[in-house]
Structure 1
Amino acid sequence: MSGDCDSTTATRDKFLFQQWHSDVSNDPENTREFVLLELKARLLRLARSYSKNPVLSSDARDASLKNSSPNLAKAELMACHIARNFKSRLQIKDIAECVDLHPDYASTLFRKTFGLTLNGLITRHRVAEAQRLLISSNDQIIDIAFAAGFDSLSRFNRAFKEVTSMTPRGFRKECRLNNR
């Protein structure tokens, strides 16, 4: 039965990825953000189901990652830690500690592996969460900023504009106009 479920899931995911690719290829400006949000939601569901029903124990999974490439494994573990905790206050030293590295070395390793800083990934996760909330709720922007993990409205507005090239209010307005 599990094989059938895996096959069905794989078929559905293949269809979804083809649809997302088609959407972005045909209308990159208007669909990119929605596709990224859908993709993030799918990946979070996969991660949640994996953590509930892991094929390998967490020790075996960590060992498997470490055997592939110690640096890649540590960078991936840091990225996973960020994905699970981006809404809370994250400090570089805490992220580095979760993989037993010095904060400076962890930052350098992560940037070299992914071409993005640890803070950059945290910000992207928070902005993606804010985009999801802006699209799916009528909450005030300040409440969305705090719910997504930002410490202040000004930092949220600055980060949102850096990542999306628009203000949160403009993003919400454009999404609502496009969904009429």
Structure 2
Amino acid sequence: MSRQDRHNEIEINFFPSGEMTYLFHDRKIIVPKRHLIAFWGLIPHQIVGYKECSPYYVCTIPFSLFLSWNLPSGFVDMILKGNVMTDENDEFAAHDEFMFEHWVNDILQPNLREVATMEIRARLTRMANRVAEEGSNVALKDYETNIVEQIAIYIVRNYQNPFKVADVGKSVGLHPDYANAVFRKTFGCTIYEYLLSERIAHAQRLLLTTSLGVTEVAFNCGFNSVSSFNAAFLKITGCTPRDFRKRNK
């Protein structure tokens, strides 16, 4: 991916072979092959590397549908807090590959779509119950990051506070203009644009998962005025914060 992706759906991935390196919010992790992972797509995520150019499976679940499934609350809470949930159980790996192969076709057929949906729900329920029994998520390891990734991580760890591009450059030992140039070359946007996208992504999460008012959300996300928040939100999402909350509640 040339830039980070975000969408208001629950995403599950399965890699039959090879490894995939993701930058999730402020963590760089390697997802091993034959591991099912699940995360909220509204958390910024980007593929930054891979081992073996092999196809992999991606399934997205509408946010409202996921919530309606009433999965174990601990599992849902961890998803909504930005955790990447993983299932390392080798017992299910062969079944996961088989099921994904069928889901790809079944989802496109009206008479089988509901069956596929029920099977996906059942698979996540098994995963959620195992996480609940084990008491914690199976941890994915953090890996060393390069300078451009360090800039992205600095932003996502500080976007709720006021800072300048000069602060970002200083954090990685680069002149701010050069830091902005190398960042744009890799991520396809300026540091400031990336900062705004992080703030708006966080605002979307707050609007969907809390009852905070728009003003509280704006200041919680690092904006110094409601007007600048509304303008940025409209530019990035195409709607106002209030409209976004109404559409997705």
- Tell me the TM-score normalized by structure 2: 0.48
Distance (Å, rounded) in 1 between the aligned partners of 2:173 and 2:200: 28
1:11 aligns with 2:35: yes
How far residue 160 of structure 1 moved from its aligned partner, in angstroms, is 0.3
Q: Which amino acid aligns with 1:113?
A: T
Structure 1 gaps of 5+ residues are 1-5, 25-37, 66-72
The total of aligned residue pairs comes to: 138
Distance (Å, rounded) in 2 between the aligned partners of 1:15 and 1:119: 26
How far residue 54 of structure 1 moved from its aligned partner, in angstroms, is 6.1
Match of 1:117 in 2: 190
How far residue 12 of structure 1 moved from its aligned partner, in angstroms, is 3.3
1:95-135 C-alpha deviation (Å, 9 max, x unpaired):
00011010111111111111011011111111011111111
- Secondary structure (helix, strand or coil) at the match of 1:173 reads helix
Indicate how the Cα distance of structure 1 residues 133 and 96 shifts in structure 2: closer, same or farther if over 3 A, else same.
Answer: same
Instruction: Map residues 35-114 of structure 1 onto 2, 5 A cutoff.
Output: 41-42=82-83, 61=144, 65=145, 73-114=146-187
Indicate how the Cα distance of structure 1 residues 40 and 101 shifts in structure 2: closer, same or farther if over 3 A, else same.
Answer: farther
Which one has the bigger helix percentage? Answer: 1
Distance (Å, rounded) in 1 between the aligned partners of 2:238 and 2:209: 20
Distance (Å, rounded) in 2 between the aligned partners of 1:85 and 1:137: 21
Contact 2:207 2:241 in 1 (8 A): yes
- Secondary structure (helix, strand or coil) at the match of 1:41 reads coil
Indicate how the Cα distance of structure 1 residues 110 and 100 shifts in structure 2: closer, same or farther if over 3 A, else same.
Answer: same
Identity of aligned residues (%): 34
- Secondary structure (helix, strand or coil) at the match of 2:174 reads coil
Say which one has the larger Rg: 2
Match of 1:146 in 2: 219
How far residue 14 of structure 1 moved from its aligned partner, in angstroms, is 6.5
* Alignment RMSD: 3.5
Match of 1:173 in 2: 246
1:22-60 C-alpha deviation (Å, 9 max, x unpaired):
659xxxxxxxxxxxxx699235x89xx9xx99667xxxx
Structure 2 gaps of 5+ residues are 1-29, 41-56, 64-78, 87-136
Distance (Å, rounded) in 1 between the aligned partners of 2:140 and 2:58: 27
- Tell me the TM-score normalized by structure 1: 0.65
Contact 2:39 2:82 in 1 (8 A): no
- Secondary structure (helix, strand or coil) at the match of 1:18 reads strand
Distance (Å, rounded) in 2 between the aligned partners of 1:121 and 1:85: 12
Q: Which amino acid aligns with 1:155?
A: S
Indicate how the Cα distance of structure 1 residues 107 and 40 shifts in structure 2: closer, same or farther if over 3 A, else same.
Answer: farther
Identify which of structures 1 and 2 has the higher relative contact order when contacts are C-alpha pairs closer than 8 Å and 6+ apart: 2
